Amino acid sequence: MGFRTAVLSIAVLLMSGLTAEAAPSIPRCLACHPAHYRDRGGCVDCHRGNPGTERIAIAHDRLIAARFSYFTLGDSPVVAQGNTLAGTAGCRRCHTIGGKGTTLASDLDRLAGNARPEDLAASIQHPVAQMPDFHFGDADTAALVNLLLCESRDRLKARAEEPLIVHFENKQDTENIFVKACGGCHRALSAREGGLGEKDSGPNLSALLTPYYPLGKELPAKDRAWTPEDLEKWLKNPRKQRPQTRMPPVSIKEQDLTRLKEILSVPPSLLNPPVGSQNSP
Ligand code: HEC
Ligand code: HEC
Ligand code: HEC
Ligand code: HEC
């Protein structure tokens, strides 16, 4: 009798030990996959998915695929590569990434955390009309998506919910000075009038007069941001600055020039970090 009770209680102890600890925390992912990065977290911490089932379609719900998972590793060279690409492409002249940039288009820190990585990749490779087509290949696109996921994960936690700014496709105002004088060769996303211009033979000039426009490699702005004076000089005689340029001189009235500078700037309310926020923690 005493022996049987002892065996039973050992069995009960063993079973309760199992149910209390191991069973709920073993992800069913392991039925099909070997474990890896065990010391860095659970499968769903890095890949999302549903760990409570062996039905693959449900287990892979909202899965973050391997090529988009590098951002979970911390200090990943893939994220660094994404950041370099975002800088040379000038993503931040229209978007906020990692707390820096404008919100002429979506704040990607807020968006990316809830998006499917595949959708982010598709938005980059098949951009809407007012976003330039950078012709990124799959590896560069995945690097950019890793950057977006990394930054949004870090910032979503820190940020309170704010209303999203919604942009509507608007009919072009043919009296607008940018549409009239520049829109045949350039586009620009502006704070007040939305997307202006309709051709891409010249670069996309969104937020030209902010630090987020890609750094110039040639005059008049060389390795620094464009200033209103640079723009004025450039319009008068582009060839004086760049002998090989395909842009013709454009003559513009003083008051139109003021409007142009306004269109190619971004108001402080749409700049990140907000002006004066440097002191906040
Ligand atoms: C029933 C088996 C099964 C289960 C359960 C399962 N997987 Fe998978 N998983 C697969 C198979 C098969 C593939 C390869 C084919 C594919 O991508 O669908 C795969 C692929 C993957 C990939 C690589 C996908 C890519 O395109 O990079 C990841 C990451 C992954 N699974 C994570 C998980 C995680 C996390 C869980 C648990 C939440 C899980 N899987 C549960 C069978 C399973
Ligand atoms: C710390 C983050 C992290 C954790 C935790 C993690 N993974 Fe991954 N996983 C990655 C990364 C990054 C890759 C990309 C390839 C690599 O680095 O091995 C990846 C790739 C994969 C792949 C693609 C095949 C391969 O090995 O390249 C599968 C399947 C997968 N993980 C399943 C899982 C499962 C199942 C778990 C839970 C046991 C898990 N992962 C835990 C980050 C993680
Ligand atoms: C000239 C402005 C401009 C530039 C530069 C730009 N984008 Fe966009 N992007 C847009 C607009 C406009 C949209 C459409 C939705 C919106 O308003 O955000 C968009 C949408 C997106 C989306 C989808 C967001 C959503 O709402 O679903 C992603 C992801 C994205 N861009 C990433 C990038 C990346 C990465 C870069 C740099 C390589 C970049 N963009 C450069 C204007 C721009
Ligand atoms: C006939 C077509 C055409 C018109 C009209 C035109 N541009 Fe350009 N623009 C170009 C081309 C092409 C380039 C690229 C020049 C180069 O590679 O050196 C360019 C370059 C620029 C640049 C330099 C950008 C950079 O990143 O280096 C600025 C600034 C600019 N244009 C502003 C304007 C403004 C403002 C207007 C309207 C007042 C305008 N352009 C009208 C064709 C045009």
What does the radius of gyration of the chain's CA atoms come to, in whole angstroms? 26
Residue to probe by mutation, ligand 1, list 48, 63, 116, most atoms within 8 Å of CB: 63
Among candidates 71, 73, 69, 51, which has minimal Cα distance to 60?
Answer: 51
CB 90 near ligand 3, within 6 Å: yes
For the chain (281 residues), the mean pLDDT of every run of 10, in chain order, is 45 42 71 95 94 96 96 94 97 96 95 91 95 97 97 70 48 88 96 92 96 92 95 96 95 96 95 67 33
CB-based contacts of 53: which residues, under 8 Å, 6+ apart? 28, 59
Q: Residue 129: its pLDDT value, please?
A: 85
Q: Residue 249: its pLDDT value, please?
A: 95
CB 81 near ligand 3, within 6 Å: no
